[in-house]
Structure 1
Amino acid sequence: MKNCSYQTAYKQLSLHYFLYFAVLGTTVPYMGLYLQSLSFSAIEIGQLLGIMMFTKVIAPNIWGWLADKSGRSIFWVRLATVLAAVASIGLILFESYWSVFLTLMIFSFFWHSSLPQFESYTLTCLGKDKHRYGQIRLWGSIGFIAAVVAIGWQIEHFSVALVPIDLLFILLIVWGSSYLVKDGKRIQEEGDGYGFIQILKRPEVASILIVSFLVQLSHGAYYAFYTIQLSELGYDKTTISLLWALGVLAEIGVFFWMSQLFRRYAVRFLILLSIALTILRWLIIGSLADSFFWMLFAQLLHAASFGLFHAGAIYLIDTYFKGNNHGKGQAIFAASSHGLGGALGMLLAGYTWTAGGAELAYGLSTIMVALAFMIAWRWTK
């Protein structure tokens, strides 16, 4: 990709991130609410959201192997996106548990295959300017906010039943945006000679993958039940959507200042700080959700629990995995964190929410993050 750089590809990359995360702004806050409208129980909702994340354990690794073998990341991004759009039609057609289960499994398999390869393409394109990644990635957060606010308004004034139609519409636009990005063979880089398994065995690499798994595991209750939790406490849908948006605005701030943060502080320090603030966040949401003030503060901490941690982790992953291991490195990171961690987190959240509500669910989340902090303190470099 000789002709790709921050200056030449900024607009195209930013647009795709904006649209990709608009899909997440449709599914993450509102899929649980939509499933609840179909009269599924908390355990069933946890299972359905869990399968969406579990496919991320397998799918990115298959797509990463195919992309690294061909050297053409964008081709596989386009294919995954159009197949995800086709699969999402099932949400419009079906309402029974197993039909929705299979639909979400197929949709999420292809959808989760897309982003790691686009991340790989973006970081390869940036090259020595990878500290500018945050200035591109922040447009994804803006897309998330736009979708959260728009869909929240739509649900408030019309119906949550429109969510599957919104999802299909945005997916088709994402697919179209992928054709604005130039495809091309990835140039071999230094580091290609190192075996993938050999890299995984390094303590600092294994530790960041385990820490990412635990941090994402702790987000299960938040992603699956935060909207439901606030709805049951009397918050209206517009207020809930604005709280989601506030969290992502805080995340945008981290991405905007990412290059300055990385120049001033060690990545290890930033990761430890983000994990410590995540512990505080889950304690607040688990026990003080009836206070609007504390919810505002907790959502500002999304800057740490997602933004700062993700920026630090993906920086390290890009450093550890080079050349023809690059796509597989992004894939194993996605699989271990948002994939396995997200799947088990949502599945576990369904059972803990049923057994003990928010206090038990977020209490367990707090324990998971505390364990992550200890591992990161010992092994993260």
Structure 2
Amino acid sequence: MTTSYWSLSSVYFFYFAVLGAISPYWSVYLQSSGFDAEEIGSLMAIFIATKLLAPNVWSYIADRSGKYYQVMLFGAVLTPVAFTLVWLLQGFWGMVMAMVAFSFFWNAILPQYEVITLSAIKGREEEYSKIRLWGSVGFIITVAGLGWWLDFSPVSTLPVAILIIMLMMAVVSGTLSVPNKSHRLVDSTGSVSFFRLLRQPRVLCFFLAVMLMQMSHGPYYTFFSIFMEQHGYSRTATGFLWALGVLAEVLLFLIMHRLLRAYRAEVLLLISLVLGSIRWLATGLFPDSLMVILLAQCLHAATFGCFHATCIALVHNLFPGKYAGQGQALYSSIGFGIGGAIGAWGSGLIWQHFSPVTCFLFASVTVGIAALFVAFTLSRHRRFWAAEW
């Protein structure tokens, strides 16, 4: 299967452009709409929690039918349609319904697209990071542009911007050049069942680290923009701080293929986890120091870029053949779903009942526990890690 570099990159660009509008600014929009911190945390948690079910439903359908492209396109088209419910439904529960609806379809896109991309570059998996970096570029352009826009325009215009980006994503998805739009992946798993794969210790170790890492990002994705505003940063400045983090991620993606060749995957995971603990500690304790915040944002290269690229490669190896889509969906569900939802919900409670600083200390401790777990496993079961990964 051959698909052009730019064709593969375009969907990532607009998919993560949507995320670049939602992650930094949706909590600000919710706050301007009258929701308090606990409600914002709950709404973001519910939004994230759709990753528990939606990716697995769509990936099960795609794996069974072989129609990865069709499932991905269906999600891309229905996402902006469902998003219009933001204007049609009122109140807390109305917002819950709207966010669940568009998120359900949005979560049909990425797991299938990861399978399409990895199938297109089969045998050249190290090129994944070069394609995926365009998602980061889309995120950067959106987060920086909207930060500037929202300094001069009411926050109520944010949903309009998001809808426009979603529509562009749908158009690009519909024109994607994928020669074999309906295909079944070669089954290299023999008679091994999906649940037997899940019970392997290496898989359990991997997903625990993934869940704790994404849990630690809860305060960041939910309250970082509000936290920065409380400490005197303009929305333009906050947007550029978000963009800096993703720019660091892009630069990391450019060399990630070399890192994956030079270092064992579990070592890269451990380094990412340790730097994550440092990042959240610095963010929580020194928000008024621009230099510290700039350095902390640069660590996004490790906490997302390095961590995610390593995880994608590992999932591709852990769940081969007919389980490829379900493996990517499970990675999304456990990490961004369970971990992200607990992190967002917990940060809302901590923010409301304790303090913003405590939110980021909670994040630092959470990812620190994951680092200790991986380090302990490395020290006690070195051959286990080396053999299995």
User: In structure 2, what is the equivalent of residue 29 of structure 1?
Assistant: 24
CA distance in 1, matches of 2:37, 2:46: 14
Residues 1:203 and 2:198 aligned together? no
- 2:262 matches 1:247: no
In the alignment, is the contact (CA less than 8 A) between 1:352 and 1:360 conserved in 2?
yes
In the aligned structure 2, how far is the partner of 1:282 from the partner of 1:351? Answer: 18
Is the 8 Å Cα contact of residues 92 and 165 (structure 1) preserved in structure 2?
no
Matched to 2:279, the amino acid is: R
Q: Which amino acid aligns with 2:8?
A: L
Once the two structures are superposed, residues 117-174 of structure 1 have per-residue CA deviations (whole angstroms, 9 ceiling, x without a partner) of 1111111221110111000000000000011011111111111111111111111111
What TM-score results when the alignment is normalised by the length of structure 2? 0.94
- The change in CA–CA distance for 1:237 and 1:224 in structure 2 (over 3 A counts) is same
**In 2, distance between residues paired with 1:236 and 1:307?**
26
C-alpha contact 2:188 2:322 (8 A) present in aligned 1: no
Report the CA distance shift for 1:264/1:253 in structure 2 as closer, same or farther (over 3 A). same
Q: 2:71, 2:151 → 1: CA distance? A: 37
Q: Runs of 5+ in structure 2 lacking a partner?
A: 379-384
- Quote the RMSD (CA, aligned, Å): 1.2
Counterpart of 2:105 in structure 1: which amino acid? Answer: F
Shift of the alpha carbon at 1:250? 0.5
Amino acid at match of 2:213: V
Q: Point out where structure 1 has 5 or more consecutive residues left out of the alignment.
A: none
Check if 1:20 corresponds to 2:18: no
> How far apart in 2 are the matches of 1:193 and 1:138?
36
Who is 1:284 aligned against?
Answer: 282
Identity within the alignment, %: 38
Structure 1 runs of 4+ aligned residues shifted over 3 Å read none
Residue type of the alignment partner of 1:344: I
Q: Secondary structure at the match of 2:109?
A: helix
Distance 2:324 2:317 in 1: 9
Contact preservation (8 Å) 1:284, 1:298? yes
Name the structure 2 match of 1:349: 347
Confirm or deny that 1:142 pairs with 2:137: yes
Decide whether the 8 Å contact of 1:17 with 1:137 is kept in 2: yes
Amino acid at match of 1:10: Y
TM-score, normalization by structure 1: 0.96
Q: Does 1:359 align with 2:357?
A: yes
The Cα offsets for residues 220-264 of structure 1, whole Å up to 9 and x where unpaired, read as 001100000000111011110000000000001111111111111
Instruction: Indicate if the aligned counterparts of 2:38 and 2:349 stay in contact, CA closer than 8 A.
Output: yes
Separation of aligned partners in 1, 2:306 and 2:323: 25
In the TM superposition, residue 95 of structure 1 has moved relative to its aligned partner by 4.2
Tell me if structure 1 keeps the 8 A contact 2:217–2:363. Answer: yes
Corresponding residue number in structure 1 for 2:330: 332
**Corresponding residue for residue 158 of structure 1:** 153
CA distance in 2, matches of 1:192, 1:14: 32
Distance in 2 between the 1:270 and 1:81 partners? Answer: 33
Distance 2:151 2:140 in 1: 16
Aligned residues, how many?
376
Match of 1:99 in 2: 94
